[in-house]
Amino acid sequence: MTQYWLMKSEPDCFSIDDLQQRPQLREAWDGVRNYQARNMMRDQMHIGDGVFFYHSNTKVPGIAGIATVASLAYPDPTQFQIDSPYFDPKASAAKPIWYLVDVQFQQKFESVISLDQLRHQAGLEDLWILRKGSRLSITPISLEHWHIILAMRNRHA
C-alpha cells in the first residue's frame, strides 16, 4: 500500500536541486534526530511511497517538488562518524539509534507551493504542518491531501 509523506529540509543544507544533481537522482535522508520522525521512516515507510519535498527555514517556505522513498530504513551512517554534526556517542554499530531511508527525485515544481498558499487552500485545514507549533520534520500526508496539493501544482504551473 502506497503511503504519502512530507519531508522537510533546509535548502541551504540540502535542496530539491541538490537531490536532482545527485548520482541516480538519489540520496540518503540523513541527520534526522527526532524519535517520531525516525519511527516513521523505520516502521512505516515502503519503497515507492510518495514524498513532498519541503523547503523550510528559507525565504519562501513550501513544497518544492516530489520524490519517492527508494529504500527501506537502515542505520544512518552519520551517527557513527565522529566528525559529523550528526554524530551520536550513544550509538554503536551493534545498537544503532538513528535510521534513514533513501529518497529518489521525481520532479521539481515550476514554482514552490508556498506555506501561505497551503494555508489558504480549502481542504487542507488539518494538514499537519499547518498546525501551530508543528516542527516535526517528517509527517504523513493523506491521499486526499496529496491529491489536493497535486492539483495546486497544476494550477500554478
User: Which grid coordinates are listed for 149?
Assistant: 496539493
- 58 binding DNA? (CB under 7 A): yes
Choices 19-27, 69-77, 105-113, 131-139; region in contact with DNA by CB under 7 A: 131-139
- 95 binding DNA? (CB under 7 A): no
Among 25, 115, 128, 142, binds DNA (CB under 7 A): 115
Distance of CA 82 to the CA centre of its chain: 25
**Residue placing its CB nearer to DNA in the complex, 58 or 71:** 58
Which residues, 6 or more positions from 144, have their beta carbon under 8 angstroms from its beta carbon?
A: 123
Cα–Cα distance for residue pair 62/23, rounded to 1 Å: 25
Which residues, 6 or more positions from 134, have their beta carbon under 8 angstroms from its beta carbon?
A: 128
Cα–Cα distance for residue pair 55/63, rounded to 1 Å: 6
- 92 binding DNA? (CB under 7 A): no
- 11 binding DNA? (CB under 7 A): no
- 3 binding DNA? (CB under 7 A): no
Q: By the criterion CB under 7 A, which residues form the site for DNA? A: 8, 10, 33-36, 56-58, 61, 115-116, 129, 131-137
